[in-house]
Structure 1
Amino acid sequence: MTGDPEPISAQARRALEQELADLQAERRLVAGTLRDASVGDQADQADELRRADQLERLDRRIEDITERLREAADAGPAPTDRVGVGSTVGVRFADGATETLQIAEVAEALDQTLVTVDSPLGRALLGRRPGDTVHYDTPDGPATAVVVSIGE
């Protein structure tokens, strides 16, 4: 990654927007339960401190997601001339199998088509163009793949 704002795929944007909405709803619920921590016994005070800590955690994540969405908007759409974050990439593996993969910053649970930029295949694909052959390591040893297409 270059340090410049990186685009994200439409699917990743929707996932982040949904997570943001969920976190904001959770934050409203938690904030509604806070009272004055100096009132009550020690158990009440400890419970209030725990909820305050939870609010801080929620606020940090809300801020992170909001900033990432802002950066993605500044970056514009994923590139279509070279592989980058947010790209959809058609790849043909050495065994002839082809797959369409999404290049992302972070993995999403149970998304088999997502390749992160810090994985061996993700690092190998970044900056490549259709027709390029990439070499990367797998648990079973070295592997190769060919970039077939790039698009949204």
Structure 2
Amino acid sequence: MTDGPQPISPEARRALERELAELRADRAKVAATLRSEDPVGDRADEADELQRADDVARLDERIGAIEGRLREGAVAGPPPADAVGVGSTVTVRFADGAESTVHVGELAEAPDLDLVTADSPLGRALLGRHAGDTVTYRTPEGTTTATVVSLSS
């Protein structure tokens, strides 16, 4: 895997920005229901209050992760043409000799058999690699290898 910030495709940026807007709206709704100075009633009220506080913390964590990813993608620039990055189309030859052309993407919004997300085992193994490189990655069946046959942006 490459060190440093990873590029982000325009489609992934838009998807993350949409998710961020939705999360911020959800957080505002949940935060508005938290009591400030009012005493909590019975144990059920207290449990409900704690659950909403946990929800706010979970939303804050995801919001922070998305904001960080958007900042990282902004400074990374486009993926290099000679190395696999987010947005690259890569032809790989698997250990059994089968070849497949996949697109390395940020997010899987819809089922797409040709998409390999950058955070999947194969995607992580491919990032930063060049044509001719062999990568090793884990699958549910065990460790396997693939060779980068060619790539394009």
Q: Fold-level match, TM-score > 0.5?
A: yes
How many residue pairs get aligned? The number is 146
Give the equivalent residue in structure 2 for 1:127: 128
Counterpart residue type for residue 82 of structure 2: D
Structure 2 equivalent of residue 100 of structure 1: 102
Q: CA deviation at 1:48?
A: 1.8
Secondary structure of residue in 2 paired with 1:114: strand
TM superposition shift of 1:55: 1.0
> Retained in 1: the 8 A contact 2:84–2:151?
no
Residues 37 and 45, structure 1, Cα contact 8 Å, conserved in 2: no
State the alpha-carbon separation in 1 of the partners of residues 146 and 34 from structure 2: 55
1:142 shift after superposition: 4.5
Q: Tell me the TM-score normalised to structure 2 length.
A: 0.73
Distance 1:133 1:4, change over 3 A: closer
Matches within 5 A, 1:53-132: 53-84=54-85, 86-93=86-93, 94-95=97-98, 97-102=99-104, 104=106, 110-112=111-113, 113-117=115-119, 119=121, 121-130=122-131, 132=132
Q: Which residue of 1 aligns with 2:18?
A: 18
Whole-angstrom CA distance in 2 between matches of 1:12 and 1:76: 14
Post-superposition CA distance 1:63-122 (Å, at most 9, x none): 1211110111011122222113x1322214333x43232155x87774541244561x33
- How much does 1:6 deviate? 1.7
Give structure 2 stretches of 5+ with no counterpart: none
Match of 2:151 in 1: 149
Supply the distance in 2 between the matched residues of 1:89 and 1:16 (Cα, whole angstroms): 21
Distance 1:45 1:123 in 2: 43
User: Structure 1 residues 52, 126: CA separation in 2 closer, same or farther (over 3 Å shift)?
Assistant: closer
